[in-house]
Each structure stands twice: as structure tokens, then as C-alpha cells.
């Protein structure tokens, strides 16, 4: 079963006695037992489920399908992308430890690493990962994690995963990669040397803007530790949201193929527009495509409020990756918690617009963007 789309659809094995084409939703908080001996069997490994916070067939299915698509041996589901990141980090780091992270990660991740982990006694240094020497210079004796994104949010820098994996290995660090933007359809960081791969399954894995979920996968020893953090901190994902994300994962390859092709056309068109100062769209993500996100800086004389008011059926939202084309304003949403100096350092301004390309006809998407730019 080597094909991406085949692996996305098949492979989750239900018990033989369940004659259901689709995995049922196990919408239960607990599982019942017929005797004390049977209940005790859970703790000896005879029964897989006890309490949904500890484990549920639906969240296991999401973990397993994501691990399968990433080519990793194990996975675990969490309540959100940040929940998955937190579980991954806490599987490795403790008070007194140190992380080195890319300075251009998602704003929510930046804040969590900088502020929330600091409250736990875990310090993070943010470094330009295009400068390998700077990355190595930031590593201390207490450093335990190297953290980055395969394609960064919002400016779509494509990480040299193999190079950073070599740095992590050289210094005996755990290498964690957020693969949300690229998805395993385009990039598989585990195969390139990552120890743990994290996703906001809210985005492309779920794919329909109707679920909040996270998932991580990678080396079994770290996944087991992360799963323990999910259970004991209460970062577990509900059965129904797990089921929705699994349903979305089945069409991940089809959606990414279409959305990446649409994004390529839209990015090429945007580069010639006078109201657009700069277009950020990668060219080296994968031979399957370069993803479905385009980020632009509007021209200095453009009216960003007019742009957002003139979008027509393209919606202004604080997220991305649904089947519909949407736009977001990183300055006031994803990177809102950053100081003005921090925003300036990564390049986010009032003129920054992140465009999430959907599965509509490319010509229709471009037509709506043309209207928006005319309004700017």
C-alpha cells in the first residue's frame, strides 16, 4: 500500500466483528466491563480502552492515519495544534531546559514557546534558521530541542530539514518539525530526519473548517511520552472531532493537489499586480506542488481596509486551509500577540495578507482577488 491516496483511505483495521464500512463514532466517555477481572485486564494490556481521556478508537484512528501518511511508526492525537506542540515539547523538555526555535514560526507557537514555557522554567532562543552557524551558536549545554516548521507561517520559507536534522543529531537534540502547511502529501519530515512531526489537524488534515484538532507522530519513545502528557494534562481530542478529522484526511491528497495548482496560478498572477508590493510563494517545497498558501504585502499606497471590504465571496477569517479560498490579516490575528518589534523582525505589517487558496476554479479565485485589489 504505497500510494498516498490509498494509504489515506485504507489501512485502519476495525475488529473483525464490526461490519461497518466507516469507523463508528465512539461517543462515550467510558468503556464498560463485565467483571473486575475484565477491568483489571485493561491494566495488563488485554483490553485497549478504559476512559476516553486515556484512549478512544476514533482518536487512535486519527493518530494512526497521520503516522501512516508521514511514514512514522507511531502517533497521538491532541485537542489542537498547539496542544500537539505542547505535548511534543513536554515529552522532552523539563524545567531548566532550553529550546532553539526558528524565529519565523507561527505567532501562536512563538507566544507559547516564549511566554507559557517560560512560566514552566523552559527557555527558548529564537534564531534565523537560514543561518546554520547562528543556530549552532545558540545551542547551550541545557538545550534539548531544535524546533522549526517545514514551511513557515506566514512567509513560507522552506526549511532545509535535512540540514537542521544533521545539526540536531550532531548536538544530541530532539528535532521537532511542524508540518501543517506542507502536509505529508508534499513533505515527510520524519523521513528527512525529524524525531517528531506535529500538525494542526484543524487545517489541511481536517480540511473543511469544522474541527479543532492536533496530531503528532514520530519515534515511538517520544510519542509514548507525548501521549502520557496528553492524558495527564487533559489535552485529549474528542471522539467526534477525531472522526471528522479522519474523514477529512481521506481526501487530503486530492485537495492538496488541486489547491496547490490553484495557488501556483494565483501567485503568478499576483506578481504582476501594481497594488501588490511583494508576493511570497515557495518554489522548492515538492515536485507535487508548493502548497496552497500565498502571502502578499500590499503596496504602500494600498488601502488594506478597502481590500478586505472588496473580497466578495472570499471570506476574511483568522485561520486557513478549508476547501474555500479565504484571507487573513496576520498583523491582527495569528501574530497579534507579538510586540511591534517582534512583528517587524519577522516582517509582519499592516500590509501583510495571507491567502489560503481553495478548490474553486482558479479563474474565479483570481477574479475575486482582482476585485479586492481594485478596492484597495
> Which parts of the chain are beta strand (E)?
74-78, 98-102, 123-127, 143-149, 174-178, 196-200, 214-218, 276-280, 293-298, 315-316, 326-328, 352-356
Phi, psi of 16 (to 5 degrees): -60, -30
In the sheet that holds 326-328, the strands lie side by side as: 276-280, 293-298, 352-356, 326-328, 315-316
The answer on pLDDT for 22 being more than 90 is: no
Give the domain ranges of the chain.
4-249, 252-375
pLDDT for the residue numbered 11: 66
Q: How far apart are the first and last CA of the chain?
A: 49
The reported pTM is: 0.96
Longest dimension (CA), the chain: 74
Lowest mean pLDDT among 1-15, 210-224, 292-306, 311-325: 1-15
Q: Tell me: the pLDDT tens digits for 84-133?
A: 999 999 999 999 999 999 999 999 999 999 999 999 999 999 999 999 99
CATH architecture of the region 252-375: Alpha-Beta Complex (3.90)
* Block residue for cell numbers 500577540: 337
> Which residues are the active-site residues?
53, 106, 178, 203
pLDDT digits (tens, 9 = 90+) for 307-363: 999 999 999 999 999 999 999 999 988 888 888 988 888 899 999 999 999 999 999
Strands of 98-102's sheet in order across: 74-78, 214-218, 196-200, 174-178, 143-149, 98-102, 123-127
Confidence of residue 13 (pLDDT cuts 50, 70, 90): low
Q: Label residue 73 by pLDDT band (50, 70, 90).
A: very high
| pLDDT score for 70 | 97
Please name the fold of domain 4-249: 3.40.640
Average pLDDT, the chain: 95
Amino acid at each position: 500500500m504505497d500510494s498516498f491516496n490509498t494509504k489515506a483511505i485504507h489501512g485502519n483495521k476495525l475488529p473483525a466483528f464490526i461490519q461497518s464500512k466507516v469507523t463508528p463514532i465512539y461517543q462515550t466517555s467510558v468503556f464498560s466491563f463485565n467483571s473486575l477481572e475484565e477491568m483489571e485486564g485493561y491494566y495488563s494490556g488485554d483490553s485497549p480502552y478504559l476512559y476516553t481521556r486515556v484512549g478512544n478508537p476514533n482518536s487512535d484512528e486519527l493518530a494512526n492515519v497521520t503516522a501512516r501518511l508521514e511514514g512514522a511508526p507511531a502517533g497521538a492525537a491532541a485537542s489542537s495544534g498547539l496542544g500537539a506542540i505542547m505535548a511534543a515539547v513536554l515529552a522532552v523538555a523539563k524545567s531548566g531546559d532550553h529550546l532553539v526555535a526558528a524565529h519565523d514560526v507561527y505567532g501562536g507557537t512563538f507566544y507559547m514557546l516564549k511566554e507559557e514555557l517560560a512560566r514552566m522554567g523552559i527557555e527558548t532562543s529564537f534564531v534565523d534558521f537560514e543561518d546554520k552557524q547562528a543556530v549552532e551558536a545558540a545551542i547551550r549545554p541545557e538545550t534539548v530541542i531544535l524546533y522549526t516548521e517545514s514551511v513557515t507561517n506566514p512567509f513560507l520559507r522552506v526549511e532545509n530539514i535535512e540540514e537542521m536534522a544533521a545539526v540536531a543529531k550532531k548536538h544530541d537534540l530532539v528535532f521537532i518539525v511542524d508540518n501543517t502547511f506542507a502536509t505529508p502529501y508534499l513533505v515527510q519530515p520524519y523521513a528527512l530526519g525529524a524525531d517528531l512531526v506535529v500538525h494542526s489537524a484543524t487545517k489541511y488534515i481536517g480540511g473543511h473548517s469544522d474541527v479543532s484538532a492536533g496530531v503528532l507522530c514520530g519515534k515511538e519513545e517520544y510519542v509514548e511520552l507525548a501521549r502520557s502528557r496528553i492524558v495527564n494534562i487533559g489535552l485529549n481530542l474528542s471522539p467526534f472531532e477525531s472522526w471528522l478529522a479522519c474523514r477529512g484526511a481521506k481526501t487530503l491528497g486530492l485537495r492538496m493537489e488541486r489547491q496547490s495548482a490553484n495557488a501556483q496560478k494565483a501567485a503568478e498572477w499576483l506578481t504582476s499586480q501594481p497594488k501588490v508590493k511583494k508576493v511570497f510563494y515557495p518554489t522548492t517545497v515538492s515536485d507535487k506542488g508548493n502548497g496552497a498558501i500565498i502571502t502578499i504585502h500590499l503596496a504602500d499606497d494600498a488601502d488594506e481596509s478597502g481590500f478586505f471590504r472588496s473580497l466578495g465571496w472570499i471570506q476574511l477569517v483568522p485561520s486557513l486551509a478549508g476547501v474555500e479560498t479565504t484571507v487573513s490579516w496576520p498583523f491582527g490575528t495569528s501574530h497579534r500577540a507579538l510586540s511591534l518589534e517582534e512583528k517587524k523582525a519577522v516582517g509582519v505589517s499592516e500590509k501583510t495578507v495571507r491567502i489560503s487558496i481553495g478548490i474553486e476554479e482558479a479563474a474565479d479565485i483570481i477574479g475575486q482577488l482582482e476585485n479586492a485589489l481594485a478596492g484597495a
